[in-house]
Structure 1
Amino acid sequence: MTSEPTTPGQTTTGRQVLVAVYAVFAIAAGSRSAVQLATKGDEAPLAYTLSLVAALVYLVATLALRRTSVRAHRIALTAVVIELVGVLVVGTLTVVDGELFPDQTVWSAYGVGYGFVPLVLPIAGLWWLLRHRPVAEDAARVR
């Protein structure tokens, strides 16, 4: 796999699309989980808290993807890996034992409630991040 280096300030359509989708998911998951925790948090606190965690991961990814530095790239990569692990673990747990969570999370059944975007998004994010690494001169600037 070849990597296309990016330079500071360079924008790409792929980055813009990822930032937009991550921002929408941060807002959607965050809003939904905040309302659920505030109005019926005692019914499924784990599920609603997991959705809030997902929203925070989406927010971190959104903010890191907007930047082109090596540090931001590492943060985005970490957030996207955490997201992928989360959606795979929670997705698998909810498929294997649906009774574990009394209500849906963003990552339940691999994101079925969101059209499986929570499953596809970290894969697309990882693909993009691994193909668009910051250039070495950017690394020197960040240190």
Structure 2
Amino acid sequence: MTEPASARRITGAGIVLVFVYGVMALAATGRSFVQIVREFDDAPLAYGLSAAAAVVYILATLALMFSRSRAWYRIAWIAVIFELVGVLVVGTLSIVLPELFQHPTVWSLYGSGYVWIPLVLPFCGIWWLRTHRPAAVPELAAAAR
């Protein structure tokens, strides 16, 4: 049976959000791959963080796409919160202790190399997750009564 368009999980802003997360996943993956292959010994911390950011963006993209299920919804929350903490911590450290980040990462300077999308994106993800909770599973709702 085909699901009605009104019951689809991702529409409108959700499609844009997943698209932007996907673009960030590709960009961060490409950047970290090139950095690690070419010059990992120059800045293992920075390039390792770029790789971690890539994994987070890939996970967030998938979790947002499948967030209709409660498990993926939780994973989406974890990924988006991890992303927010990462960009805030790395962004702050790259200003306060620039010697740690002489080589840029995805999250350096709060994502300035990516037009601050890494700083704004987790707030958009949090908003979307708060306004699009998955529907309760009928069997679990009946069992809770």
Larger displacement relative to structure 2 (10-19 or 67-76): 10-19
Which structure's relative contact order is higher, taking Cα pairs within 8 Å and 6+ residues apart? 1
State the Cα distance separating 1:97 from its structure 2 match.
1.5
Partner of 1:53: 52
Report how many residues are paired.
135
**Structure label with greater radius of gyration:** 2
Higher helix content, 1 or 2:
2
Q: Are the structure 2 counterparts of residues 93 and 113 from structure 1 closer, same or farther at C-alpha, using a change threshold of 3 Å?
A: same
Please list every run of at least 4 consecutive aligned residues from structure 1 whose deviation after the TM superposition is greater than 6 angstroms: none
Counterpart code for 1:105 = T
Gaps of 5+ in 1: 1-6
User: Cα deviation per residue 1:52-107 (whole Å; 9 max; x = unaligned)?
Assistant: 10010000000011111111111001100000000000000001121112200100
How big is the shift at 1:139? Answer: 8.2
Report the more deviating stretch, 113-122 or 64-73: 64-73
What stretches of structure 2 of length at least 5 have no aligned partner? 1-5
Aligned twin of 1:84: 84
CA distance in 2: counterparts of 1:46 and 1:129, whole angstroms: 31
Counting aligned pairs with the same residue, the percent is 54
TM-score where L is the length of structure 2: 0.87
Give, in whole Å, the separation in 1 of the partners of 2:40 and 2:138. 45
CA RMSD of the aligned region, Å? Answer: 1.8
CA contact (8 A) 1:70 1:139 kept: no
